[in-house]
Amino acid sequence: MLLRIIRGFVLFCILSVLCVPAQAQQLSMGTLVDFTGSVLVCSRGDWGAMPYQGMTVYDGDKLLTQDGTAFIQFEDKSTLALCANTYVFLEQWPQPDAPFRKNAFNRRITVMFGKTHFKIIDEKLKVRTTFSTRSLVFGIVGDPINDIVQANLSTDGELNNYLLFHIGHKDFTIGPYYRGVAHDIPITTVESMELYAAAREAAQAALEAREAADAFAEGLISEVDKDAIFARAKLKSAEEELAMAQQMVEYHPDKDMVVPQAQAKLEKAQAKYLAAEKDLEAAKLAGASTTGTESLWSSGESEGESGNYKGPYAEQPSDEVEVVSPELPGGEFLPGQ
């Protein structure tokens, strides 16, 4: 009897560990194999992460391509290609009904806007992949014969979704989606999107915080100025999280899973925002003279002098960049092949 209890307790402990949410484990999902142009990455909650070839992509990471593209290979050899002006959110967690199967995960790829192409190589059905936009969700169930599933998924600035599947030699669409691929989102439309602006501001604030840490170490700024810039970076990160969660709560059709999860993220982001706001106010009361952005300190005569730190965005690149989406004959967007 005692042996059964011990065995039962051990089994309970194993299941408890295996069912820990993915965010707590910071699961590695794959690798950023290649990218071009300007790509912003929020890696493990840090919008200040600098992308590089071979960069590990984790559960909870976000990518925003601007005038560039990105190509990700997941650990099961499946791939995801991002066109310009595309925002994706990546999630992965262990399958609760298969706790003892190695590498058995649920993977969700959320495309908030832009164009993507994915290729699913589901070996022995170990990874269940779900794709989502702000207004749709669909899953990929592989075939035991290891069919390779390819598809274009794109969504424009007006919540229109475009979906085209390729399985073997068959092409088909599912549901009330447009066949083919959305037109390129004009840069003017993207710039007017709250989420796009929030992500850019979060990335800028995070980079300024990193620069502020170096400036403080060199004695160029005071500790309260550093704390103020750190607080502002936290505030901008919370604003981006709020913008994304609010859109999912407002528009997403999956009221049983996605919306409740988004609501929980919304509440967490609200708490993070309030805490950052409190930290920022405390830094100001302590005498902080800057919070970053254009008000960064400047006491030198010219650029680059000690005391004249202006942050990583002192010179903004021009927005007048010709963006060319990779296409195959016939206009089908299939990058990364």
- Per-residue pLDDT at 46: 94
| 307 falls within a domain | no
Tens place of pLDDT per residue across the chain (337 aa): 433 333 333 333 333 333 334 344 578 999 999 999 999 999 999 999 999 999 999 999 999 998 889 999 998 888 999 988 999 999 998 877 655 566 678 889 999 988 888 887 755 557 888 888 887 777 665 554 455 677 778 887 677 777 777 665 454 444 445 555 566 667 777 888 899 999 999 999 999 999 999 999 999 999 999 999 999 999 999 999 999 999 999 988 888 888 999 999 999 999 999 999 999 999 999 999 876 654 444 333 333 333 333 333 333 333 433 333 333 333 343 433 3
Q: At which residue do the structure tokens 């066109």 appear?
A: 83
- Per-residue pLDDT at 93: 87
End of a domain among 185, 219, 238? 185
Whether residues 221 and 147 share a domain: the answer is no
Whether residues 168 and 276 share a domain: the answer is no
* 308 within 8 A of 43, measured Cβ to Cβ: no
- Per-residue pLDDT at 9: 30
- Per-residue pLDDT at 200: 95
Q: Which domain holds residue 233?
A: 193-295
| 300 falls within a domain | no
Whether residues 176 and 55 share a domain: the answer is yes
Whether residues 170 and 27 share a domain: the answer is yes
Residue 159's alpha-carbon distances to 88, 126, 155, 259, 272, in angstroms, are: 15, 31, 6, 16, 28
The amino acid sitting at 122 is D
* 68 within 8 A of 36, measured Cβ to Cβ: yes
Whether residues 19 and 77 share a domain: the answer is yes
- Per-residue pLDDT at 95: 79
Indicate the helix (H) or strand (E) that contains 79.
strand 79-82
- Per-residue pLDDT at 164: 74
- Per-residue pLDDT at 292: 63
Q: What's the number of domains the chain is made of?
A: 2
- Per-residue pLDDT at 293: 54
| 24 falls within a domain | yes
